[in-house]
Structure 1
């Protein structure tokens, strides 16, 4: 058995991050971090990852890529954009929560999510607590955020949630996060975490 070969195959099949799938070119700047936060919120309800990703793309296509622009949109405009993506069960409540999320970021962080960036000593645990306090995100959403943002915030790396580690165990890969991350270059750890999440969903779509 060759773990590195197994990981290469896993990345080839499932290695697109959810941020990339939503059209987010993730960098350590306020606008792309806001877009990741929006994607995180959309992914934190009982909705499929594909619909959440498409909903994010629809919102960003309207130009609502910063908290200021999201707040300038109307509730009805947001409902329509979410509905066009098939995000219908939660479209009305989510349209409201997008406003609340943007206002929370504006008022608490001056619109700049980098103010929530943890120190290396505090790492992912601190970030989960902070991001989990944002409207409609909670601890599960905060872990989604950590999985993706580790691509640009090395203080969070390596981060794999419980489902990713369960998938790693099922595939015969290491379950120690540092050892697992060591199977890929440092700049691909987020892709590996996403690949394990996607492989989990493929094996157990519920």
Structure 2
């Protein structure tokens, strides 16, 4: 397939699906403690076997309740968190997740001063070390760590280019390059645009799965 054909596919993907999951959850992503914590919450919710839409809606509901920092998340009562999770549609996992969110906020405060940038500095540009550190947090696991990396590359350029397996599989199905560097080059390698393309590929894959 020609570069021009690749570009048409990428342009269509970005037009139809090119908004990140962080944006959908109401996160204005920056390299600051609060929005990075919010992205961790989204990744934690998304790691469960639940739809991406429900995870984003639930994260948005938690943030709407005012729990945008680990201090505020930990200060909320368990029942308040359960109720917010239920309002977001996260009902199958609401009680256990209410506890997980408190544990995660507490661990982040105790080990890292509530600031995920400390994990970034400790990883020193090594993606595997960063993913391992994220997976040490409650319930994040390999799935959640990759969701976090997929989104955070927009503000942590050393993570870019990052595409998870679902995104790369969808790229191959659409006839796009599956080499990470080549795929990133279709958007000029800009980390923010790579994050958009990575999210667009995942959204496209999810849409194809529903149609299938």
With the length of structure 2 as denominator, give the TM-score of the two structures. Answer: 0.94
The partner residue of 2:144 within 141, 146, 164 is: 141
Q: In structure 2, what is the Cα distance between the partners aligned to 1:128 and 1:203?
A: 28
What residue is the counterpart of 1:175 in the other structure? 178
After TM superposition, which residue ranges in structure 1, 4 or more long, deviate above 6 angstroms?
Answer: none
- Root-mean-square deviation (CA), in Å? 1.1
Out of 113, 117, 130, the position equivalent to 1:114 is 117
Q: How far 1:119 sits from its partner (Å)? A: 2.2
Q: In the alignment, which of 150, 160, 163 is matched to residue 153 of structure 2? A: 150
Q: Distance in 2 between matches of 1:159 and 1:125?
A: 12
1:92 aligns with 2:95: yes
Q: Please point out which of 37, 44, 66 is paired with 2:40.
A: 37
Uncovered stretches (5+) of structure 1, i.e. residues with no partner:
none
Contact 1:119/1:155 (<8 A) preserved: no
Shift of 1:132: 1.1
String of CA shifts for 1:162-185, please: whole Å, max 9, x gaps: 111110000000011011001114
Residues in 2 aligned to 1:119 and 1:203: alpha-carbon distance in whole angstroms: 37
Residue of 160, 174, 182 corresponding to 2:163: 160
Residue segments in structure 2 that go unaligned for 5+ positions in a row: none
Task: Determine which structure has the larger helix proportion and give its number.
Answer: 2
Query: Which of 59, 63, 76 is the matching residue for 2:62?
Result: 59
Q: Does 2:71 align with 1:74?
A: no
Deviation at 1:80, TM superposition (A): 0.4
